A and B are shown apart, each in its own frame.
Chain A
C-alpha cells in the first residue's frame, strides 16, 4: 500500500495475555517510530528504529514492552502480561530519513493505529 499500515486495527485482550501489534512502513523508509496515545492525550514516544536497530528505546514503559524490526521493514510491538493500563491506541510512523535530520519538510507518515483494549 501507499501508506503506513497497522494491523490489527482493533485488539481486545484479557489481562495477563500476550499481544503483538504489527506495522508495515512505507516501502523504502528506513526510520520507524512507535508512539502510544491514551484517550484524550497526545502521543507518547515509545521507540525509534533506524534500519534494523533500535536507536532509541527510552520511551518503553517497562520490560513487558519489546519491539523488533528484523529485516529493517516490518516492525512488531510485543506486550507481555498485558495490564488494563496498557489500553491505548498504538501509532506507528515511518520516514525516509530520521525525522529531525532532514530538510525542512521531512515528515513522518503515521498509520491509523491499533486500538488495544485490555479487559
Chain B
C-alpha cells in the first residue's frame, strides 16, 4: 500500500526564520513520483515541485529547497527566510504512472508565518 505521512500538523514561525516540513512515504514500487503542493487560504492547490524516484539530486528554487533521501523514504521541504505570504497548508504527494496518474496526498502541514 502507498502512504504519505506528514507528521507535523502545524508549524508557527516568525518571519525570516527557516522552516522545514517533513514528508515520509511508503511504497514497494521502485518507480514513483513525489510532489509538493501549496494550498493558500483561497483553496486552490499550487504545484511546487515534482521529483522521480531515480533522481535523488536535491533541488533549490529561490527560497525553497527540497531534500530527497530514498534511504529514509523522505522528501523534506525547507523554506528559507520565511515570509508572511508563505502562510498556507503544504501537501506532500506520491504518484505512480501505472496507477492511473492519481496522487496519494499526506495530511498536510499548516505553516503560519507571523510578522
Q: Which residues of A contact B33 (CB under 8 A)?
A: 100
CB contact list, B79-115 vs A, under 8 A: 91, 93, 95-97, 99-108
Whether a CB of chain B sits under 8 angstroms from the CB of A98 is: yes
Q: Which residue of A lies closest to B93 (CB)?
A: A42
A100 near B105: Cβ-Cβ < 8 Å: no
C-beta contact mask, B3-15 vs A, less than 8 Å → 1, else 0? Answer: 0101000000000
User: CB-nearest residue of chain A relative to B37?
Assistant: A110
**Given the known A-B contacts A48-B100, A107-B50, are A43 and B44 also in contact in the complex, defined by CB atoms under 8 Å?**
no
Q: Verify A101–B50 contact, CB threshold 8 A.
A: no
CB–CB A41/B102 < 8 A: no
B62 at the interface (CB under 8 A from A): no
Whether a CB of chain A sits under 8 angstroms from the CB of B42 is yes
B95, A99: Cβ atoms closer than 8 Å: yes
Q: Does B52 contact A (CB under 8 A)?
A: yes
Q: Which B residues fall within an 8 A CB radius of A?
A: 4, 6, 33, 37, 42-47, 50-52, 91, 93, 95-97, 99-108
Interface residues of A (CB under 8 A from B): 3-4, 31, 33, 40-45, 48, 55-56, 58-59, 89, 91, 93, 98-101, 104-113
